Amino acid sequence: MRRRFPPGSRVQLTWFGHSAFQAVSPGGKVLLVDPWLENPKAPPKAREINRVDLILISHGHSDHLGNAVEIARRTGATVLAIYEVCQYLASAGVARTQALNKGGSFTLSGIRITMVDARHSSAIEDRGAMISGGEAAGFVMEFENGTTLYHAGDTSLFMDMKLIGQMERPDVVLLPIGGLYTMGPREAAKACELLNPKRIIGMHYGTFPALSGTPAELRKCLPPRMKGKLLELEVGVPVEV
């Protein structure tokens, strides 16, 4: 049975553009996911964040690995990623890494992180060479108050999202909607039907003209019972979920 939410206890979520998010847990832990904090939509000085406990990397592409190395070195944060990405990060001077693979979980101060599947490529650009980044993944974060957030990473639509919905029961889903390199609004709407969340947030859109999907298109594609669940975030403005 899932835990009840303590009154007034919420997760504070901030979108930094593209797929980069900060989540502050009810207990005050700071998580960064896919911290490309110098993307074209990111707030000024976003990369200068000075307190981070945990960094989650969905895959090795530069628009998701982003500023993880410099932030981890500066803050001492632990970085969670698939094994191959962790090996690269360690070689780049990141002192604290925690390798996971799909289906595995890690708990930090009452926050449980589970790595789940994603359908996408993954490679790391390193001084002009492309090296293995393992496979792309998503993360389910269950916070101390029971709130569960699913960051899908870069992915296409896949039927096992139904299993993620059934087993993890995410309250909030962060889904790519830009199209071209990931699923677009039509596919994301179907993902929402499989996941059945309480809140829906689009990501990985609008960074460049090619990522043309929009929250408005997603809303049009959602079934009527879900249209009111869509939450459109303003970059740099925290919301409670």
Pairing of strands 30-33, 97-100: unpaired
Distance of alpha carbon 67 from alpha carbon 22, whole angstroms: 13
Query: What digits encode the pLDDT tens for the residues 190-215?
Result: 999 999 999 999 999 999 999 999 99
Query: What digits encode the pLDDT tens for the residues 150-194?
Result: 999 999 999 999 999 999 999 999 999 999 999 999 999 999 999
Contact (CB, 8 A) for 218 and 182: no
Sign of CA dihedral 173, 160, 227, 176: positive
- Whether 1 maps to a domain, the answer reads no
- Whether 238 maps to a domain, the answer reads no
pTM, 2 dp:
0.95
> Has residue 67 got a pLDDT over 90?
yes
User: What are the C-alpha distances in Å from 231 to residues 16, 121, 150, 200, 201?
Assistant: 15, 28, 14, 6, 5
Q: Count up the domains in the chain and report the number.
A: 1
Distance of alpha carbon 174 from alpha carbon 19, whole angstroms: 9
Distance of alpha carbon 226 from alpha carbon 221, whole angstroms: 10
**CATH number, domain at 38?**
3.60.15.10
- Whether 162 maps to a domain, the answer reads yes
- Whether 99 maps to a domain, the answer reads yes
Counting residues of the chain whose pLDDT is more than 70, the rounded percentage is: 97
Query: What digits encode the pLDDT tens for the residues 8-25?
Result: 689 999 999 999 999 999
Q: Domain of residue 157: give its range.
A: 12-232
